[in-house]
Amino acid sequence: MELKGNNMNDSKTNTLNIYMKPHKLILMMLVCISALLPGVVFAQTTVREQPTLSNATLQECIDYALSNKPGVQQALIDEEIGERDIKSALSGWLPQINGTGTVNHNFKQQSQILTTNGQSSLLTFGGKNTSSFVLQADQQFLNAGLIQASKSAKFYRQQYKQSTENTKISTIVDVSKAFYDVLTSKEQLNIIAENIARQEKQLKDAKAQYDAGLVDKTDFQRAQISLSNSQADRKRTDELLKYKYAYLRELIGYSAEKPFGLSFTSRDMENDVMIDTTQLLNYQNRVEYRLLETQRSLQKITTSYNKWAYSPTLSGFINYGFNYQNNSLSNLYDQNFPSSVVGLKLSVPIFLGGKRTQEIRKSQLQERKIDLDLVNTKNKINTQYEQAIATYKANLNDLNTNKANVEISKQVYSTIKLQYDEGIKTYLDLTTSETDLRTAQINYLNSLYNLLSSKLDVKQALGTITVNQ
């Protein structure tokens, strides 16, 4: 009897060790994860140092914007979120394993009357304390929802990438226009500075002539007024330039605390104005049109899914249960009564109140709506292109006209300046020619900026702006 008792104790000890091993394993895993977690968190929170744009070209600004602008980064995050959604939807094809556990105390146990040879007796089922642990695996074999997820995954990925591409194209256009706007203002400041230098010399000459009694006070006063107006114009342009720099910083996602400068000249702008106006419009080049085509493909899959919903659903399952019962709570887990089952489950929809029929018709109507969106988008793209190409041609003509006017204005000013110095022309004639020269130079700069902006509009309308350019 003593030997038997020792064997029973050894058996209980082994059983306890078996139960303790999984808990020890879980504990060790948690410790390892805790030890690795700080390194993982540190790796995720490491911020990549941004380069400094102290003498940036247009391409460098665009590259920086495509890497650092919050709107572009959000689009990339949306693309990644979409990928997670796709994988989450497709995970239904993999086995789904679940574990459940229960512990119960029966205040009143289930009883059943048993009649034998005319005599009845009351039988009580189960123990006062019961517990069960069930591990079950389910596998889908035929499921309309999962079939839809598999077929639409490709188009959802395509849609996310096209949305990101659309954001990047808009960023390229906005950054380019803001870049040209800053350069236009900088060139305008140079023109104003040249004008102020001329006016300061004219004021000095007018003052000397007035002091010598050659002219009256009017020329000197007019020179003072012209100089004051030019200085005020320079101050206004300089303040607006600060805002334009700040706006460009915002567009590219550049920190306000870092030094920022641009490398470009009006000569570079002049060399970048031409575009081939004979290119044919291709709607497939426009990402907005391709986005609608992707939506139409997804909608067709939705229509097919609503038809597949009438098909049966087939799945398989297998489980294994650990069942314990005992009238004594302390001895509840002394003995296990295992159970296991494997099977198939077939579900066939018979009548759903007409819901599926209405969903099919609704999806077909949405397909028609997207088709009309495609037609409307074609018309809009065509109108946008015609407007952009017409504006570009008009701005190109303005540029050539203003460029010729600048040369003529320079000649006129030089001639009148000589005539004024010789006393042939009045000071009013001189200031008028100088104003005409400044106006022609400013108009030329504005037409140059307008032409570059309209060129970007033409390329965007044609769909020839790509993120890889």
The rounded mean pLDDT for the chain is 85
Mean pLDDT of 359-378: 94
| Strand, coil or helix: 341 | strand
Same domain, 73 and 130: no
Pairing relationship of beta strands 119-124 and 111-116 according to DSSP bridges = antiparallel
Q: What's the pLDDT at 209?
A: 79
The token duo for 128 is 């006062």
Q: How far apart are CA 113 and CA 135, in angstroms?
A: 34
Q: What is this structure's pTM?
A: 0.79
Q: Which CATH number is 132's domain given?
A: 2.20.200
Burial of 4 (0-12, 13-18, 19+ CB in 10 A): exposed
219 and 99 inside one domain: no
In a domain, 136, yes or no: yes
Same domain, 168 and 204: yes
Of 6-20, 111-125, 203-217, least confident by mean pLDDT is 6-20
Record the tokens describing residue 298, joined without a space. 């997804």
* CA neighbor of 223 nearest in space, from 439, 433, 430: 430
pLDDT of residue 326: 87
Both 206 and 342 in a single domain? no
Sheet containing strand 96-105, edge to edge, reads 96-105, 129-142, 313-326, 339-347
Number of domains, the chain: 2
Confidence band of 196 (pLDDT split at 50, 70, 90): very high
Same structural domain, 75 and 128: no
- Judged by DSSP in three states, 313 sits in strand
Is 339 in contact with 328 (CB distance < 8 Å)?
no
- Is 266 inside any structural domain? yes
User: Last residue of some domain: 330, 347, 364?
Assistant: 347
In a domain, 126, yes or no: yes
Mean pLDDT computed over 366-394: 96
**Rounded mean pLDDT, 181-186:** 93
Question: Are residues 184 and 320 both part of a single domain?
Answer: no
Domain that holds residue 320: 95-106+122-142+315-347
Q: Are residues 130 and 248 part of one domain? A: no
Q: Residue 353 has which token pair? A: 């109140």
Instruction: Mean pLDDT check: name the lowest of 167-181, 343-357, 368-382, 398-412.
Output: 343-357
On the question of pLDDT at 22 being above 60, the answer is no
